[in-house]
A and B are shown apart, each in its own frame.
Chain A
Amino acid sequence: MKNFIFLFLAIGLFTGLQGCKDKTEPSGGVDLKATFMATYNGTQLEKNKDYTFGTFPLLFLRYRMYLSDITLIKEDDTEVKISDVEYLDFTPDSSPSDLSVTPEITYKNVPEGNYKGIRMGIGVNAANNAKKPSDFPADSPLSIETDYWPGWASYIFMIIDGKADPDNDGTKNLSFSYHCGSDMVYQEFTINQAINVTSSGANLNIEFDLLKLLTQEDGSLYDMANYPVTSNDVNNFKVALEVISGVERAITIDQ
């Protein structure tokens, strides 16, 4: 009899704990492989290559960013968080080629099912952004010191660097550097996209198009000539906000 009472208590405790959970934790599921790609106007991004930006040429040197809290959303609105933080460096200088790299990340134990969307943050969420690189182990993407700026006491969420020739004089003498950071510019959004995770897993292709990123909501191109850099003034986030908000328009997910 004592054994039965203990069993009922254990079941009750277990059920109660499950009921307290807001999110479904991945366990016992399948692999979801995500392939990330940077593009410009639909073609894979290449460093040092001339592209056309409206009326003038430009080239890109660096494109990297953090993603946080990547979460799949089921049709019944329950959520499955598959990643706390990712660091995507599409143009690492460890790569001998100018062609951007396509990081592949496999998320384990993703529950099978039909999902209606995916949510992610562009940057580092406030909890992690309150820490410093030295707070993290060497293999953590948050241990990268060069992508942390003490002036903001923040990680640099996204970096887009390059050179442009807005006056078309044949010299790319305008350097643009969009370095977006601090909690004020952290962006979180949901992409509505059917994602079917079957017993054999799933593959996602997640693309970030820099032309779309630098195209504003009204369809006009970002005013790079007048706003080529983000401000270091901790009270001036105008350019950083405008640029990082373009990521939502730049992202395409295919399965």
Chain B
Amino acid sequence: MSVLVKFGNRITLPLVTLGLMTFLGACKMDMPPGGSDPGDLENISYDPHPYTIIKPDHFPPVPIPPDNPMTMEGVQLGRMLFYDPILSADSSMSCSSCHLPQGSFTDNLAVSIGIDGIAGRRSSMSLLNVAYATNGLFWDGRSPNLEDQAMRPVEDPIELHNIWPNVIVKLKVHDTYPEMFRKAFGIPDRDSISKELAVKAIAQFERILISSGTSKFDQYQQGDLDVFDDEELDGKLMFFDEGEPLNLPDAQCFHCHGGLTLTGNQYFNNGLDSVGNLSEFPDKGRFDFTGNPNDQGKFRAPTLRNIAISAPYMHDGRFATLHDAVAQYADNGFGVINEDIFIGQMGFPIGNGQYTGLNNYQIGAIVKFLHTLTDTTFVNNPDIQNPFK
């Protein structure tokens, strides 16, 4: 300012000021696009409204992390980000490209394809009831929570193949998102938009992906015992090992797919591959995360809710039909040392630790029971559909 005063006339000051602004403007061209004035969002009100997750009465309470409370504004932002291809490097794919509502938030492919057309090595997992998954995410459990999980596909070279700084730049200059971030998280300016907040919003949206509780199975659980036909009931009894009084064999399914979400979110070698040595598994599964040799070939048991509409099956999508998947289990595995103990216990015991396996009727009955887990109310819920359509 003292320099300007030295010029001492009214014309010089505006010229110098203009020059300074031009200079600064030129400098600004070299700054990352989307740079913002401090406090440029503070004129937008920040008044978040708590979001109450709608869940069936017979479902357990939904665990919510204390550092990411659910708000209407957060869920709305998360839903937009989930469906918006802005997260990918070429703006061609979004989270929803591999997690579509009609497939119970899978893509119904054996393995998912990223923006460069490269196939991943594993099938996309259903996001139904993912809020209850508190024992790691992905098939190998490498991600501890939804916030961490949502961070990863953006920079995965065979998924969205982007980098977060690019995403943040696009979000900062976007017409809508800065205001939505302000309303969801109270940030003062565009520069406060961060990947941490973006994934918090996505996680909030994913936590509302809860069963409607209207499937045939849920109706039965709620006391409508006539809803199952005989075959479905047989399947249910075998699935939950409750068939002994009726001379139905145990299928042992519920040990890995138990509880109302029909997954314990634990990790198993479910007897898919015959290997002489654990290191021969084509996909090492959980071992990739834990480094424990005994975890080779183990994968997280997925939810079986909506399983009939989320084909194909297994971590690599090797089975096209439910019948093929159940029939695989019916053969009692291969005896690989880290196969789960229940893989070898299908059917009636015949001594010396051996079991009969399941016959075609029993396999079919279990498949029919699995169809009772279909929840079309959930997949058609308007609150979870693509907001851009």
Contact = CB atoms under 8 A, between A and B. Distances in A.
A134 B63 contact: no
A96 B290 contact: yes
B258 interface: yes
A151 B240 contact: yes
Given A146-B258, A177-B345, 4 more contacts: A96-B290, A143-B61, A177-B342, A233-B245
Nearest to A49: B294
Contacts of A163: 337, 341
B353 A174 contact: yes
B60 interface: yes
Contact of A94 (B58, B59, B135, B342): B135
Using C-beta atoms within 8 Å of the partner chain, give the interface range for chain A: 35 or more
B78 interface: no
B45 interface: no
Interface stretch (B19-27, B260-268, B316-324): B260-268
A162 B344 CA distance: 12
Most buried by B among A137, A145, A149, A228: A145
Contacts of B264: 145-146
Interface in A62-121: 93-94, 96-98
Given A134-B60, A146-B258, A175-B344, A94 B353 contact: no
A138 B61 contact: yes
A96 B292 contact: yes
A148 B294 contact: no
Nearest to A136: B60
B73 interface: no
Contacts of B289: 96
B241 interface: yes
Given A93-B135, A173-B335, A133 B341 contact: no
B266 A146 contact: yes
A61 B136 CA distance: 19
B242 to A, nearest CB: 4
A33 interface: no
24 contacts: A93-B135, A94-B141, A134-B60, A134-B61, A138-B60, A143-B60, A145-B60, A145-B258, A146-B259, A146-B264, A149-B254, A149-B258, A151-B241, A151-B242, A161-B341, A167-B352, A173-B335, A174-B352, A174-B353, A175-B345, A177-B341, A229-B349, A231-B244, A232-B244
Contact of A173 (B244, B245, B295, B353): B353
B290 to A, nearest CB: 4
A47 interface: yes
Interface string B301-324: 000000000000000000000000
A228 B135 CA distance: 29
B341 A145 contact: no
A177 to B, nearest CB: 6
A145 B259 contact: yes
B250 interface: yes
Contacts of B141: 94
Contacts of A249: none
A175 B62 CA distance: 35
A136 B295 CA distance: 32
A145 B58 contact: no
Most buried by A among B63, B258, B264: B258
A172 B337 contact: yes
A92 to B, nearest CB: 8
Contacts of B382: none
Given A174-B353, A175-B341, A133 B294 contact: no
A252 to B, nearest CB: 28
Main secondary structure of the interface of A (DSSP, over half): loop
B345 A229 contact: yes
Interface of A: 47-48, 61, 93-94, 96-98, 133-134, 136-139, 143, 145-146, 148-151, 161-163, 167, 171-177, 228-229, 231-233
Interface string B242-280: 101100001000100011110010110000000000000
Contact of B242 (A150, A172, A177): A150
Nearest to A176: B341
Nearest to B267: A93
Contacts of B352: 167, 173-174
B291 interface: yes
A138 B63 contact: yes
Nearest to B257: A146
Interface in B218-247: 240-242, 244-245
A98 B337 contact: no
A203 to B, nearest CB: 30
B61 A61 contact: no
Contacts of B212: none
Given A61-B341, A138-B63, A175-B353, A232 B242 contact: yes
Interface string B350-389: 0011100000000000000000000000000000000000
Contacts of A176: 341
B338 interface: yes
Contacts of B61: 134, 137-138, 143
A94 B136 contact: yes
A225 to B, nearest CB: 8
B152 to A, nearest CB: 19
Contacts of B259: 133, 145-146, 148
Contacts of B335: 171, 173
Contacts of A61: 340-341
Contacts of A162: 341
A71 to B, nearest CB: 28
Contact of B292 (A97, A134, A233): A97
A93 B266 contact: yes
Contacts of B294: 47-48, 98
A137 B254 CA distance: 22
Most buried by A among B61, B240, B291, B352: B61
A39 B337 CA distance: 22
A174 B349 CA distance: 11
